[in-house]
């Protein structure tokens, strides 16, 4: 947390003087004795210069720890991913992150400041090496966050997390009532609450503020009657905050119009009441102000677009369930760029992955290429919520167009262990062609 605070202060100062790009370059050399500070300043310099080829490493990494989950949440795409893998490969591969991979990419982890350890299509604590991995990363003074259903954080694991000063636990808890929770997530609600109580108890016993515990909660028609109770229980247990997100449909097991995007007036009123209730009992909700459903789609004003920082700052190692020893590589949630077989790969991270021709192409065309335009269209988030079928199809078209433009514009060097895409590896039509015909142009 100390590193994060210092990083934020440096960013604030340099933002005020962003025209002095060479100051950043000088400072990055001055901080040569600290790889993280030096790397962060180098990122800021290279981002402001809009450099295509860069010498800094990512400051944020999203790292899939496992593909396997002990839950089958109705609103999760895990149902689709597993069926997709079985149809394509005949098996779901259990790709668990291990210390061998951490050691192989040691140069990244010596410089990165923040890592989100997600399961993507799985539950992170299903990985038997999860605690070992965290201890290794904490030795490198990295801020760690994990998104989990919390069902496996028993007392012994909770104690390990508190003692290593693990930074943030993001707990997916989308109901405040046991039966509703079982219906939506398939787990034991009371067991998860007991696990939360155990973590809070250990934190108090060891006089530790860490880990910070926040609850992720989707709001929709199927759980709205339970959420005030959830807030009350979290307050009583001593949880730090709850993050509110609007539900959007996906390739999952939920049917019908359950998103508040279909009922904007009702949804906004409910959200207002939820925030007022949380304030009345002094419990923190994020975002700080309610994100009301806005049925109006504003005109796309390209002059208001902020240049995305992700191609210079963030790297995602995402779960792959249909290939062995593999992860997908991306820099944002909209597109996967290639598959990395980490057992086969023998190259250099900075040269062969972080400065791969596709990632350099994104830096050169950021805001202009098809996937960036799709992402920054203000109508995209609402489309995702009210018509996920159309959202998936439009995204797949944007991904196909991105690869078409990129592969026609650049020459890609072949690298062992790296497999380039031409389309979304989880393309919508790949699933629905086996279930029902859809028009795809």
Query: What's the CATH number where 188 sits?
Result: 3.20.20.70
Do 192 and 278 have their domain in common? yes
Residue 111 in any domain: the answer is yes
Query: 103 and 9 share a domain?
Result: no
What pLDDT score does 297 carry?
42
Pairing of strands 418-420, 338-341: antiparallel
Q: Is residue 402 within 8 Å of residue 369, measured between CB atoms?
A: yes
Say if residue 37 is in the same domain as residue 68. no
The CA-atom distances, in angstroms, between 415 and each of 95, 141, 412 are 21, 32, 9
Residues 210-215 have a mean pLDDT of: 97
27 and 117 together in one domain: no
The chain-wide mean pLDDT, for the chain, equals: 85
| Residue 158 sits in the same domain as residue 258 | yes
The reply to whether 158 and 19 lie within a common domain is no
When pLDDT is averaged across residues 148-171 and rounded to a whole number, the result is 96
Residues 42 and 64 grouped into a single domain: no
pLDDT per residue as tens digits for the range 55-72: 999 999 999 888 888 888
Which of 271, 286, 301 is the endpoint of a domain? 286
pTM over 0.95: no
Q: Which residue has the higher pLDDT, 94 or 318?
A: 318
- Among 264, 286, 308, the domain-final residue is 286
Q: What pLDDT band is residue 90 in, cutting at 50, 70 and 90? A: low
Q: Lowest mean pLDDT: which of 133-147, 151-165, 225-239, 290-304?
A: 290-304
Can you give the C-alpha Rg of the chain in angstroms? 22
Residue 251 placed within a domain:
yes
Residue 207 has pLDDT above 50, yes or no: yes
In this prediction, residues 3-30 reach a mean pLDDT of 52
> For position 370, what pLDDT does the model report?
96
Number of domains the chain is built from: 2
Residue 208 lies in a domain: yes
Q: In this predicted structure, what is the pLDDT of residue 79? A: 64
Which one is predicted more confidently, 23 or 35? 35
Cα 357 from Cα 389, distance rounded (Å): 31
Residue 143 belongs to a domain: yes
Do the Cβ atoms of 217 and 245 come closer than 8 Å?
yes
More confident residue, 321 or 333: 333
* 134 & 44 share domain: no
The answer to whether residues 22 and 137 belong to one domain is no
Q: What is the pLDDT of residue 182?
A: 95
- Residue 217's domain spans which residues? 60-286
**Residue that wins the pLDDT comparison between 96 and 88:** 96
Question: Is 198 a member of any domain?
Answer: yes
Claim to verify: residue 244 and residue 150 sit in the same structural domain: yes
What pLDDT shows up at residue 300?
43
Together in a domain, 133 and 256: yes
CA distance 181 to 173: 8
Q: Do residues 167 and 138 touch, judged by C-beta distance below 8 A?
A: no
């Amino acid at each position: 947390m100390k590193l994060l605070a210092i990083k934020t202060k440096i960013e604030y100062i340099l933002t005020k003087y962003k025209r002095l790009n060479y100051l950043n370059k000088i400072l990055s050399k001055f901080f040569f004795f600290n790889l993280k500070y030096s790397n962060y300043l180098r990122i800021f310099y290279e981002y402001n210069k809009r450099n295509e080829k860069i010498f800094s490493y990512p400051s944020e990494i999203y790292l899939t720890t496992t593909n396997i989950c002990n839950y089958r949440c109705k609103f999760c795409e895990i149902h689709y991913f597993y069926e997709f893998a079985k149809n394509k490969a005949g098996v779901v591969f259990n790709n668990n992150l291990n210390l061998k991979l951490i050691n192989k990419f040691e140069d990244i982890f010596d410089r990165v400041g923040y890592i989100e350890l997600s399961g993507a299509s799985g539950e992170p604590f299903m990985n038997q090496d999860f605690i070992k991995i965290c201890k290794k990363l904490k030795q490198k003074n990295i801020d760690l966050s994990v998104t989990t259903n919390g069902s496996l954080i028993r007392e012994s694991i909770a104690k390990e997390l508190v003692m290593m000063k693990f930074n943030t636990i993001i707990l997916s808890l989308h109901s405040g009532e046991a039966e509703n929770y079982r219906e939506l997530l398939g787990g034991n609600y009371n067991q998860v609450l007991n696990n939360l109580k155990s973590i809070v108890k250990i934190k108090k016993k060891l006089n530790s503020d860490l880990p910070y515990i926040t609850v992720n909660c989707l709001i929709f028609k199927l759980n709205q009657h339970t959420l005030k109770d959830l807030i009350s229980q979290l307050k009583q247990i001593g949880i730090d905050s709850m993050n509110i997100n609007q539900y959007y449909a996906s390739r999952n097991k939920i049917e019908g119009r359950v998103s508040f995007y279909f009922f904007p007036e009702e949804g906004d009123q409910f959200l207002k009441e939820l925030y007022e209730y949380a304030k009345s009992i002094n419990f923190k909700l994020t975002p700080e102000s309610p994100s009301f459903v806005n049925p109006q789609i504003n005109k796309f004003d390209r002059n208001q677009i902020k240049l995305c920082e992700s191609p210079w700052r963030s790297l995602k190692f995402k779960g792959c369930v249909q290939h062995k020893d593999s992860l997908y590589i991306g820099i944002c949630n909209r597109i996967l760029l290639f598959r990395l077989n980490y057992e086969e790969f023998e190259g250099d991270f900075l040269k062969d992955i972080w400065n791969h021709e596709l990632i350099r192409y994104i830096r050169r065309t950021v805001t202009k290429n098809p996937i960036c335009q799709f992402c920054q269209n203000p109508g995209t988030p609402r489309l995702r919520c009210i018509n996920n079928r159309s959202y998936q199809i439009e995204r797949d078209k944007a991904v196909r167009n991105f690869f078409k433009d990129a592969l026609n514009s650049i020459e890609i060097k072949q690298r062992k262990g790296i497999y380039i895409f031409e389309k979304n590896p989880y393309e919508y039509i790949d699933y629905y062609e086996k279930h029902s015909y859809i028009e795809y142009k």
